[in-house]
Amino acid sequence: MEDARARLAADAGEFEHVGARLAAVRESRGISLSEAAGRTHIRENHLSAIETADRSALPARPYALGFVRTYAEFLELDPRPVVEQFKFDAGYEAPQPVQAEKFRAAEHAADAETRDMSLPVFIAIIAFIIWCAWQITLTARVTPLGETEGAAAPVVETPAPEPAPGIVIAPRIAERVEPVYPFSCAAGARADETVTLAFTVTSTGRVAGERVASSSNPCFDTAALNALRRWRFEPKTVDGAPKPAYDRVQTFRFERP
C-alpha cells in the first residue's frame, strides 16, 4: 500500500487534475465512493465533484475547499498542496493577501490618539479634584456660637446608582467540522480516544490560540486541532458589540471505525 501511494505521489504530474489523483489513491486502497462519503461525512455527489474538479456541483468556495482538505486528510495525503492545486484546477481565484500594513497603521493611529487625549484627561481629573475639595470646604464650615437656630444643614449628595451590567450573549457555533479519524494512529489506539482543546473565539467569530488541554493519545491531537480551526462562531456580544471570548473548551471523541 505504501509503495502504491508513493508511486501515485511521484506520478502526480500524469493526472489531468488533483481530483483524479484523489480518485486514484482512493481506488488503490479499495475504498468505494459511498464508503468514503460515510467515513468523511461528505455527500457522495460532492466527493464525485471533487474527483472530477467540477466546481459547479460544489457548494460555496470555503465549504468546497474544506471538503477537499478533509478528503485529503482521509486519504492520508498532505492537505495543503492538494487544496492549493484544487484551487487552480477548479478555477478558484487565490485569496487576497491580508493588508497587514493597514491594520498596523490603524493601531498606530489609535495609540497616537490615546497619547493625544492623555493630557486633557489629566487636566480634567485635577480640575475635578480641586472642585471636590472646594465643595467640602463650603459644607464643612463651623457654625458660630449663638447661630445654631435656623442654621442650614450640610448638603449631602446622594451617590449616583451603579450602571447596570451590559447584556452578554455567549458565542454560538455557526459552522462545525468534525475531525477525521487518522488511520495512521489506529494500530496503537484504544477503541475510544478523546482530545480536549482550549481556545479563544475572536470578535470576528474565528478560532485563535488553540491548544491541547488534555489528550488520551497524542497521535490524535493534530486531527482535533485541524477540525477546530475550521469552526466558525457567532461571536460573543456585550450590549450588541462583538467581543472576544476566552478560555473556551471543546472535547473531540475518536471512535475506531
Answer with the one of 57, 90, 123 that is the final residue of a domain. Answer: 90
Q: Is residue 86 part of a domain?
A: yes
Output the CA–CA distances (angstroms, integers) from residue 172 to 22, 157, 234, in the order listed: 34, 45, 5
The reported pLDDT for the residue numbered 96 is: 46
CATH number at residue 239: 3.30.2420.10
Structural domain harbouring 228: 168-255
Q: Is residue 158 part of a domain?
A: no
Task: Examine residue 200 and state whether it is found in any structural domain, yes or no.
Answer: yes
| 56 falls within a domain | yes
Counted domains in the chain = 2
Q: What is the CATH number of the domain that holds 65?
A: 1.10.260.40
141 domain residue, yes or no: no
pLDDT of residue 142: 47
Answer whether 0.85 is exceeded by the pTM.
Answer: no
Q: Which of 70, 90, 110 is the last residue of a domain?
A: 90
In a domain, 174, yes or no: yes
Task: Say which residue the cell 456660637 belongs to.
Answer: 145
In a domain, 15, yes or no: yes
Tell me whether residue 135 is in a domain: no
Question: What is the C-alpha to C-alpha distance for residues 29 and 42, in angstroms, rounded to an integer?
Answer: 18
Domain final residue, candidates 41, 57, 90: 90
pLDDT of residue 1: 43
Q: What is the pLDDT along the chain (257 residues), one digit of tens a residue?
A: 444 444 444 455 578 889 899 999 999 999 999 999 999 999 999 999 999 989 899 999 999 999 999 999 999 999 999 999 999 888 886 544 445 455 455 555 555 555 655 677 788 898 889 988 877 776 555 445 444 445 455 555 666 565 556 799 999 999 999 999 998 898 889 989 999 999 999 999 999 999 999 999 999 999 999 999 999 999 999 999 999 999 999 999 999 88
